[in-house]
Structure 1
């Protein structure tokens, strides 16, 4: 067995959103070699949960027709103990937990083919056909890889212990979710193949600790879990991550409980990005909250609650500026409209694209009032960019620090595209259309500012300074979502639209 790439399951920069992303993403979505991706949004994971419920229904009916194999199949269903979720809200609640969402992805990607092969026979042929049709919709390798990345981000960015994650303890809060041997070993394989050997060893040890749940011979045959093989991979990971001279110590570690720290596995110094996502950055005390009644004539009649976050660059939060009706309308339009994979984009073809979420462009007469409200909050025009961008983040969904401005003076290849939409992005308006239980904060690392999602609020900042030049202090990112569903509605205001709105520059 090669130590370079291993699996117990044997599965056969400058970043920014761009208005050209929808075409790019739809092209990938329509590519037959790139099947539907569930992991990148809670909406997709909810669909997958519904698909799993259908699959379990078919499997239950099929087992009623079997005689010889019914005992082993009943054991499988008993082990899953999955409650059928009757509606969308229940499915969203289920897949909002990263442990349940990861388990869902792993089961549907890795378990279904194994159980399907085991159950093939002439008995219940109609049920087998039905399950084959569902299996065709199961996650592919790309989807499973996104789930691995999401779990890795959650563990790494928030500095979580594998043993805590496995038992459902996330950032000190206990959840009703636990990881199985299969989930632990799957993450061990992924970490090993990413050369994260210390993390891999922890997951392998957890898999060994919980391996009693696969003591049935049929389960061993299907999953291929052998304790000796798991111990071997643990030792290989420890040797590759440290030294072969310490093998006796590694053997003793196997007898320890999963919460016992590994020898010589000290943690590094946290990055500014991590500390920001942890919420440890100090808050400024010299800024104020007030009712804004001056930006537009309408606000004199109905002022809005505004909190100043930064003076330079200008960053503010407006509270309670979206109604429940508007949020529901936008979410419903997204759920029943076209939601595509959104990607990071770079003009340099050497930089690899990365999925970050699912999104869609919204425009309806009912939501036009939101654009009018943006004009009231900013005092600027939304004339050429009336579409709003909806985004939903899935398992460990994030966006690395990036800029919203394009800097057309340096990126001349994009000039023609952005000329059609009014020039560079002057202002970004980010509406939070959901609360997020854990994670999902917006982080400005160069300003030591962390903003946690609050349903109905709007975060607004200038991307260009008073001279019209890109402001590098506006670099921002999205911390990985741990638990919950992060929905946002975004609008960007183009600089040329503000010709008669933006105050003249007096500091040239």
Structure 2
């Protein structure tokens, strides 16, 4: 199995297999560095998601309180005003929504964690270590190395797309879109029978995924 992985990185690093000018991620060290960078991005995205969910929750609560007033009866402006004026609790809640609740929404809207996501994605602090974000050419190189490996070892297609490589199960499943991408690269490499296999697998997965990814 070790020899298979060695071959994978050998294929990934052979520029003759795919004519690209960009630096290709050819070593485990490179992949480890990129994974460390992604962990920073995930942390920043988690913070950003939490912030956005808190904002949405507060806005949704505001709208729900407003809708509760309308749900009591006819929602014409005149009737609603009479309802608010005739109930001191409604009047209090109206003032509270426009003052306290709105200020909370406004203040939350001013906070933005997106800058942290951008900085993480740019690899702040990682650039000095010589780590750079992969480019499209690097993705193409990884794809072509994978289709080469599939061809050389005649790997079982069904097991491969499920992430089970050389008998080792994993969560690295491939989508219909992934298989379509691999099929295109196989075709461009002149590996037409393999391309057909990838396209057929993409078709099968597309049906299972209800055409979500294709």
Q: TM (normalized to structure 2)?
A: 0.50
- Distance across 1 between alignment mates of 2:204 and 2:115: 40
Structure 2 CA distance for partners of 1:208 and 1:56, relative to 1, 3 Å: farther
What residue in structure 2 maps to residue 185 of structure 1?
180
Tell me the equivalent position of 1:165. Answer: 160
Distance 1:56 1:128, change over 3 A: closer
Q: Which residue of the partner structure matches residue 61 of structure 1?
A: 47
C-alpha change, 1:168 and 1:67, in structure 2 (3 Å) is: closer
The 1:195/1:35 distance shift into structure 2, 3 A limit, reads closer
Choose the corresponding residue for 1:151, options 137, 140, 146.
Answer: 146
Q: Secondary structure at the match of 1:191?
A: helix
State the Cα distance separating 1:212 from its structure 2 match: 6.4
1:125–1:43 distance in 2 versus 1, CA, 3 Å: closer
Q: Work out which of the residue numbers 135, 141, 152 in structure 2 matches 1:140.
A: 135
Paired with 2:192 and 2:181, the residues of 1 have a C-alpha distance of: 14
Q: Deviations over 1:169-208 (max 9, x none)?
A: 434x232243221432221221122232321222222223
2:201 corresponding residue in structure 1: 206
- Distance change in 2, residues 1:124/1:178 (3 Å): closer
Aligned to 1:47: 33
Contact 1:185 1:204 in 2 (8 A): yes
With a CA cutoff of 8 Å and minimum separation of 6, indicate the structure with the bigger relative contact order. 2
1:34 CA drift (Å): 5.6
**Which residue is 1:500 aligned to?**
none
> What is the RMSD of the two structures over their aligned residues, measured on CA atoms?
3.5
CA offsets 1:327-352 (integer angstroms, 9 cap, x no match)? xxxxxxxxxxxxxxxxxxxxxxxxxx
Structure 1 residues 205 and 68: alpha-carbon distance in aligned structure 2, compared to 1, 3 A threshold: farther
| Conserved? CA contact 1:180–1:210, under 8 Å | no
8 Å contact from structure 2 (residues 143, 185) kept in 1: yes
Mind listing any 5+ residue stretches in structure 2 that lack a counterpart?
1-19, 57-110
SS at match of 1:210: helix
Structure 2: distance between partners of 1:129 and 1:174: 35
Question: Cα gap change, 1:147/1:126 in structure 2, threshold over 3 Å: closer, same or farther?
Answer: same
1:129 matched to which residue of 2?
A: 118
Residue 37 of structure 1 aligns with which residue?
24
* Equivalent pair of 2:122/2:133 in contact (CA under 8 Å): no
Relative to structure 1, is the Cα distance of residues 210 and 45 closer, same or farther in structure 2, using a 3 angstrom cutoff? same
CA positional deviation for 1:46: 1.1
Task: Go from structure 1 to structure 2 and tell me whether the alpha carbon gap of 1:197 and 1:36 turns closer, same or farther (over 3 Å shift).
Answer: closer
Deviations 1:121-150 (A, max 9, x none): x94332343244149932113322321232
Post-superposition offset of 1:63: 0.9
The 3 A distance-change label for structure 1 pair 69 and 177 is farther
Alignment of 1:237-386 (within 5 A): none
Distance 1:187 1:202 in 2: 10
In 2, the alpha carbon distance for the partners of 1:178 and 1:185 equals 16
Partners of 2:21 and 2:196 lie apart in 1 by 32
- Runs of 4+ off more than 6 Å: none
Q: Which has the larger Rg?
A: 2
SS at match of 1:170: coil
Match in the other structure for 1:174: 168
Between Structure 1 and Structure 2, the one with more strand by share is 1
Report if the CA contact (8 A) 1:164-1:170 is conserved.
yes
Contact 1:37 1:44 in 2 (8 A): no
More helix by share: 2
Normalised TM-score (structure 1) = 0.23
Residue of structure 2 in register with 1:440 after alignment = none
Deviations 1:298-345 (A, max 9, x none): xxxxxxxxxxxxxxxxxxxxxxxxxxxxxxxxxxxxxxxxxxxxxxxx
Give the distance between the partners of 1:210 and 1:197, measured in 2 at CA: 20
The question of whether the paired residues in 1 share the 8 Å contact of 2:163 and 2:169 is answered with yes
User: What corresponds to 1:384 in structure 2?
Assistant: none
> Are 2:162 and 2:172, in contact at CA under 8 Å, matched by a contact in 1?
yes
Whole-Å separation in 2 of the counterparts to 1:184 and 1:62:
31
1:154 Cα offset (Å): 1.2
